[in-house]
Chain A
Amino acid sequence: MTFSPELEQRFAAMAAKYPEGRQKACLIPMLMYAQDETGYMTEELKEEIAKRLNISVLEVNEVVGYYTMMRKKRMGKTHLQICTNISCLLWDGDKLWERACAKLGIGHNEVTADGTISLEEVECIGACSWAPAIQVNYDFQHNVTPEQLDKLIDDLRKA
């Protein structure tokens, strides 16, 4: 399987960052950066990374099964993550979550039928002083109002 030249360059530089013989350390970063291109942990990706690190696919699956950000299926073009943990809850993050579910007609880790948006109720994302907070793919949005959430979803639908 092929990756972008930038990703290949990143991979090439990675091995030297860990002690000789301990290149399995590259596994999580490789999977995470590759996921940006494949969308999720495809069988092909797991086999490719296993081959490159000279480990079994089972070892890759062990890791993929553990980490929440390693996606087990294709998510939406935009992945909307809403925090409802304690500090966000105190600023009605749970209501934002319910609003997004109702508006999109999907729930936790589900994708809209057209594949544009997926939703995830996330645990603390480290934006507690700027609650309620969400992440749109990797970008943070702070102090989100219900109106802002509505507009965001409407804009994403149009895009």
Chain B
Amino acid sequence: MNPSLLHDAPHAAETIVLGKRFRLPNSRSIDTYLATEGYQAFLKSAGMTPEQIVDEVKASNLRGRGGAGFPAGMKWSFVPRQSPKPKYIVVNADESEPGTCKDRVLMQYDPHQLIEGILIAGRAVDAHRGWIYIRGEYRYLIDIMDEAIAEAYARGWLGKNIQGTGFDFELSTHTGAGAYECGEESALLESLEGKRGVPRIRPPFPAVSGAFQCPTILNNVETFAAVPSILRMGGQAWADLGIPKAGGTKLTCLTGHVNRPGVYELALGFPVRRMLEEVGGGIRGGKKLKAFIPGGSSCPVLTGEEAWELTMDYDAMAKAKTMLGSGGVVIMDETTDMVKACLRIIRFYQHESCGWCIPCREGTLWLKKLLTRLDEGVGSAKDIDLVGDLADNMLGRTFCPLGDAAALPTMSIVRKFRHEFEAKLAQRSVSMAGLPQLVSING
């Protein structure tokens, strides 16, 4: 028995689009889905040309919801439809960016919305086969998706000649086995093919050579789940829910030190202040906000002062030299030990580095060693600089973004919270005073 993921009612400040069925009884059954406009967008897409579908998605300003924020419609337009090879749809349900727990909600409460989005993507690029790659830890969600897929086959919404449209589509789940790296698109494809999840060099991008070396659309769960509402509402209307250049809504996970953590559907461009104070119910215990991560632990960290007046969208976050990312907001109050937080983030990336690229494999290990030393208050002020230098040397020197994902938060924490590192060193030297000194072998 797995727990509920929702508050009893949505917050008044939410814009409920993707989540419109979440709180219905039996929300995951196909009957509920069909009774609430389910699969209507697919039928609509059956009467459209692939270009029209792609144009609608482009008009929606939907940007990839996995973290990179690449415009989905543009990605779809890169697929060479005239290629003689089969085309594939792959769903990235390997949700594992620390702070992120939204795809769980989408699959647990509305699996058919995801299936419908996949079907429409299939129509858009003439694909007839898809896989949903779900992280192994989400076994119960794999079971839920399997059940929904079986329902869709039984009722003629998957398989041959779907609802008499002449369109065929086969879909199945595929389990991961515990590797954050497989959330990276090219490593995911390697893993799908039964191999170690190490990244591929690009180009070619998956749109040209993806799963089994065939043209592939690979998007996050939330990206596909948004597509049915885009077709139902029209791309422009969907875009207007958000702000220019960032359409629609985003499932946002409030985590850490807020009074009401949870997953909320917020319009793009939602103010951080309202998100924390109204939706999240304020910082826990009435404390001050010390640090803020907008979308998963790979984003550069903001100080509380930097974060308060921002809005939750791609451009505002880029301007603040961070990223909107995956929607995993991490909120840290004034009591947070930033050295410990930094070490914990690096321990994660060190554990998950796949070992393929040396700057990442070695860099994360040395960062972990240095940060462990600094957290224990040993080491010297030079180590603080070394952390920054090491991280800087990892940036942009790896096949996939994991190296950057480790370096960026580290660099920002060291730069913005350097005093905490220094304070630990000072504290240690005070507590060591009076103790016999170690004699260096170098004299």
Contacts and interface: CB of A to CB of B under 8 A. Distances in A.
A86 B257 contact: no
B408 interface: no
Given A24-B193, A130-B261, A69 B136 contact: yes
Given A19-B86, A129-B255, A86 B212 contact: no
A128 to B, nearest CB: 4
B257 A138 contact: no
A69 B178 contact: yes
Contacts, number: 153
Interface string A17-43: 111001011111101110000000000
A68 interface: yes
B2 A90 contact: no
A155 interface: no
B177 A85 contact: no
B104 A86 contact: no
Contacts of B99: 86-87, 124, 128
Contacts of B136: 32, 67, 69
B7 to A, nearest CB: 10
A81 to B, nearest CB: 8
B174 A29 contact: yes
A66 B351 CA distance: 11
B261 A139 contact: no
B194 A123 contact: no
B432 to A, nearest CB: 25
A75 interface: no
A128 B104 CA distance: 11
B212 A22 contact: yes
Nearest to A128: B255
A127 B2 CA distance: 11
Q: How large is the interface on B (under 10, 10 to 19, 20 to 34, 35 or more residues)?
A: 35 or more
Interface stretch (B19-27, B309-317, B340-348, B392-400): B340-348
Contact of A28 (B194, B212, B332): B194
Contacts of A67: 136, 176-179, 197
A23 B191 CA distance: 13
B133 to A, nearest CB: 10
Tell me the interface secondary structure of chain B in the complex: mixed
B135 interface: yes
B3 A142 contact: yes
Interface string A34-73: 0000000000000000000100000000110011111000
A126 interface: yes
A3 interface: no
B212 A90 contact: no
B137 A125 contact: yes
B98 interface: yes
A128 B100 contact: yes
A135 interface: yes
Given A90-B256, A129-B253, A129-B254, A140 B193 contact: no
Contacts of A142: 3
Contacts of B138: 126
Given A68-B177, A126-B104, A130-B261, A25 B140 contact: no
A-B complex: 10 closest residue pairs judged by Cβ atoms: A69-B178, A68-B178, A67-B177, A27-B194, A87-B255, A24-B194, A128-B255, A124-B98, A66-B196, A138-B139
24 contacts: A17-B131, A19-B212, A27-B194, A28-B174, A29-B174, A32-B177, A33-B175, A63-B195, A66-B354, A67-B197, A69-B177, A86-B256, A87-B99, A90-B336, A126-B103, A128-B99, A128-B100, A128-B101, A129-B261, A130-B3, A131-B256, A138-B139, A139-B140, A141-B3
Given A28-B175, A53-B194, A68-B177, 19 more contacts: A26-B194, A29-B175, A32-B136, A63-B194, A63-B196, A67-B178, A86-B344, A86-B348, A87-B256, A123-B180, A124-B100, A125-B137, A126-B103, A126-B104, A128-B98, A128-B330, A129-B255, A129-B261, A131-B261
Interface of B: 1-3, 5, 86, 95-101, 103-104, 129, 131, 135-140, 170, 172, 174-180, 191-197, 212, 214, 253-257, 261-263, 293, 297, 328, 330-332, 336, 340-341, 344-345, 348, 351-352, 354
Interface of A: 17-19, 22, 24-29, 31-33, 53, 62-63, 66-70, 84-87, 89-91, 122-131, 135, 138-142
